[in-house]
Structure 1
Amino acid sequence: MSSTVSTDAPKAGRLERGAPDTMAGRVARKLGTRVASVVSIIIALVWTIPTFGLFISSLRPEGDIKTTGWWTFFKNPSMTLDNYHEVVFGTAGTSGRLASYFVNSLVITLPAVLFSVSLAAMAAYALSWLNFRGRDWIFIGVFALQIVPLQMALIPLLKLLHNYTEWGGGFFAVWFAHTCFGLPLGVFLLHNFMSELPKDLFEAARVDGAGPAMVFRRIVLPLVTPALASLTIFQFLWIWNDLLVALVFTSGPGTRPLTVRLAELAGTRGNDWQRLTSGAFVSMLIPLIVFLSLQRYFVRGLLAGGVKG
């Protein structure tokens, strides 16, 4: 009896600490040490230094930005909001005025995120729980589309829109492009999450007379909220910060987003680059709000479908 107690005691201790003697458990124990926490804090601080320097530069006068580094600010502090006023509203002889481009970015990003996330959720549900011929081959095709370079599809898609539709050069074109380019990753991510849902839920719903649409709306969507939030963050950040697709599928200041205007702020000769510091922080405002508001779902969504149970 004593041997049994001595054998089971270490196992009980490990279970109480919540770290089983597996590879994942050993990694979890190492990452939970004080040394790992200190290293993580140091990495976070080092990673933040460039952003902090950019913020300091955005508040410095033009002459100081062009002649000294941002770290000299602490020796001779001098702050101004002229850079922000210039890029947002513009002044005489300048070409700032990011306000209208800011609105264009919102008009492009919000519908594109809505379309891509909604279609990805419905497609992932169909590929996970609806039985039809060729379902597995379709999923393999969707998975394979993730390795196709974005640049290969830009011109063919643009010609398709110009030749067969009237969407070329407007908001509809860029919405369509972002939706197409975001679907493979979205379907793959949500499929991995939905396929791990308990089968008993769907069988009980069918017994109660619920159809596929009701099951998707009442059961699946509430359970996949973390994955939907993570996908929304990914899509929003990618579309908001996109420059290549915007350059190809939009034309004129009436439809071009903030990123296109930021690329032009330095001037034709690159001598007005002091505007980029304040312009960069203006463009970061909305993504920060979106990320901070959905961050509690972010980690759970990243791990969606990674483990069972």
Structure 2
Amino acid sequence: MKFTMKALLGAAAVLASAAVAQAQTTLKWAHAYETSEPFHTESVWAAEEIAKRTDGRYKIDVYPASQLGKEADINQGLKLGTVDIIISGSSFAAREFKPIGVTYYPYIFRDPAHLIAYTKSDVFKQLAAGYEEASGNHITAVTYYGTRHTTANKEIKTCADMQGLKIRVPDVPAYLAMPRACGANTTPIAFAEVYLALQNGTVEAQENPLTAIEAKKFFEVQKNIILTGHIVDHLNTVVSKTTWASLSDEDKAIFSEVMLEAAERGTKIVEEREAALVEKFKADGLTVSEVDKEDFLKNVLEKSPLEDYGYRKEDWEAIRAVQ
């Protein structure tokens, strides 16, 4: 039986294609954010980039907007094997390893640049290693989510101005630290219901990054935007214990490199959007005001001490010292 060279080459191509298909690993990357947000667009970019840099050995499908479950569910999914990679806040990582939650303590970060510098520091490596030891999961990157500010029915300049203020705050311990230290009455209302609660006076204030204030149109029912800047919020990119262990050292390096690049890209987008929003809110006639942050910090340290939340003072000091 005779085979032409063309037939032989064709057969070889089919076999090579089958080998690649057989060697390809499909992974699930999940998060709770909308498709328009950088946490999604840059995850999609990273998935495509990992496929390129590994010659197609990995196919990563990204599931946005809680398609595979809410944030608590996808964190649990890392253990159950229902997801391989997630984007999630440190408040969830702190459920496995409490000290990493110190990064939500008010005024620990000066600004986004300080947050990013922290992610390259020894104290970050120690906290990430503590989380990995407790959970088995590996943090590959940190993306800036936004700085949390306050909107209210009145102007606020000092911590004392919040005395008795009815404010909606997520039911996360470190998020409650600043308002409670200032004597505010905190109310945990579901995020989807905050606009109506502000409109009908159930609460008189709320706190969120500027991007969320704009997206949820809180500025329509609150004319004072107070740049309290109490939490420089962030999200971790986390790979499950099983998936991370299955990667070769070469692939671990590729995943880490790409995910860090994606985080840097996402951080830049968020920073640019926030800067533009300050100017937009002012142009729209809203009152945008600064506060005495040292006054707020002094009250937080005195009335909501680190130790109350299970955080370590040495971690706080090391992070504050990062330049």
Query: Structure 1-normalised TM-score?
Result: 0.29
Query: Structure 2-normalised TM-score?
Result: 0.28
Higher Rg of the two aligned structures: 1
Which structure dedicates a bigger proportion of its chain to strand?
2
Which structure dedicates a bigger proportion of its chain to helix?
1
